Amino acid sequence: MSHLKTVLLNRAQLKQMVTEQAIKHIWLANEIGVSEKTLTRWLKGDVIRIRIHNLNKLALALKCPKEDLIATSETDAYPSEKNRDLLIDELSSDGFLYELMMSSKINLTVSLIKSTFHPRLPSAIMANFYIKLGYASLIHRQYKKAIHYLTQGLNKATSVADHTLMFSANLGLAITWFFHSELTKAHVHLTLCKKTIEYAGQEKAHFYSTFALYELYCGHFDDAMEAANACLNECLPGKPAIEKNVFKSTALQVLAACYVFQGDLDAAHHVCTESLNVANQSGYKRSVAVSKGYLAAIYCVRGDFEYAEQLIEQSLLLVNPEDISMPSLLGIAAYITHSTNNVTQYHAYQAEINTICPANTVIHVFASYLMFARCQEQGSAQVTTVPLSDLDQALDRLGLTYWQRWLHKRYA
């Protein structure tokens, strides 16, 4: 089910229905609850997207299925070259592309952006579109493409000294390098973002949630919690952050994980339950899936294995296999089945991780680390884990010194 707030309006179909039914514009506008001027703009193509609640009223007034009024592709909505400028203006001036990406409509995002490219585009708009292409590639775990597009966007933004777009590109590069397991490079771009935070605009919450996640994986729990709380502050009413529920949910997930590692399972459960509530309000499956995944891990640590397995199964069904969240969710799933000695399912999840996630990546190594620790605590030999020496080398290669020191202290 789509959670988009707006859809492409099939202008030609709307005009045809209004003409065939001899409907007066003023009557139709009143039925929908918009001004006649707004209706005229829909009919002329000056406004090419319509809010869902207005679409429902329009379909009711025209006595037709709402699907008849939705353009099935960008070609339907923008049938001629002269309308490309309308598309460019709409895509570059609102959060529509971001909304599409968060809803995993990546192919449509890419098609819309690429359909606008031409040599006359201003550098700032080109930078914005390259950055969005980078984020779309990132969400699909196409890290090399993401780095290429985000670097293009950063170069374009730098050429016109657009500091807000430069911030956005650096943030995208930080996230990409993190998931690409280049933590040193990720830290470089996060530092650049931190130094230019005054240009973050609507992306402050996004930055703080990313920084919190980075610090969590590095084992810097105090710093992670500080960044997570800064994110929550940016999500308060009156703040300009975009998609507040998405980043609020992420910040709460990080806080919950920190509480787990600090041994406060009650606080972790409370905060992660709130994270799931906020994720449900966001309307985005990815946010819900990750919150359920974190909550499943907490139930597993508490010993409620049956509910943990139910939650992680629900979580995995919510996202596409190529989604950026899938490796983490599979890692949690493997951890849970490892904890329950469900050997068959554990190996199935581990095989999926090995397929989509190279052995030297942060997610893969961290999942192996947690399973190794769990196995040692249980004294279990029923499910094999990576050798201590291999895990130590992997942590050293990634620069995860906190976990390496803890490993040496506990098991060496």
Radius of gyration of the chain measured on its C-alpha atoms: 24
Do 107 and 65 lie in one domain? The reply is no
The last residue of a domain, from among 199, 232, 256: 199
Range of the structural domain that residue 160 is part of: 80-199
Token reading at 14: 């709307």
The CATH number assigned to the domain holding 35 equals: 1.10.260.40
Whether residue 318 lies inside any domain: the answer is no
- 70 and 134, same domain (yes or no): no
Contacts of 277 (CB under 8 A, 6+ apart): none
Sign of CA dihedral 179, 184, 189, 195: positive
Query: Do 85 and 195 sit in the same domain of this protein?
Result: yes
Same domain, 68 and 87: no
Of 15, 48, 76, at which residue does a domain stop? 76
State the 10-residue block means of pLDDT for the chain, 412 residues long. 67 83 88 87 77 90 88 52 60 67 74 73 86 90 93 95 96 94 93 96 94 93 97 93 92 96 94 96 92 95 93 94 90 88 87 80 73 64 63 81 80 64
Whether 16 and 90 share a structural domain: no
67/175 same-domain check: no
Among 30, 36, 22, 32, residue whose Cα is nearest residue 59? 32
Q: What is the DSSP string of 243-296?
A: SHHHHHHHHHHHHHHHHHHTT-HHHHHHHHHHHHHHHHHHT-HHHHHHHHHHHH
Same domain for 44 and 112?
Answer: no
Residues 30 and 127 in one domain: no
> What Cα–Cα distance (Å) separates residue 45 from each residue in 17, 49, 146, 317?
15, 9, 33, 39
Say yes or no: 181 and 147 in one domain.
yes
pLDDT at 2: 45
Q: Report the CATH number that the domain containing residue 98 is assigned in CATH.
A: 1.25.40.10
Same domain flag for 148 and 192: yes
User: CA–CA separation, 348 vs 352, rounded Å?
Assistant: 6
Flag whether 29 is in a domain: yes
**Three-state SS sequence of 116-180:** CCCCCCCHHHHHHHHHHHHHHHHHCCCHHHHHHHHHHHHHHHHHCCCHHHHHHHHHHHHHHHHHC
Q: Are strands 6-8 and 49-51 parallel, antiparallel or unpaired?
A: antiparallel
CA distance readout (Å), 184 to 155, 175, 360, 400: 21, 12, 15, 10
Q: Is residue 116 part of a domain?
A: yes
Look at the chain and report how many structural domains it folds into. 2
CA dihedral 87, 88, 94, 100 (to 10 degrees): 70
* 181: in domain: yes
Of 50, 76, 102, at which residue does a domain stop? 76
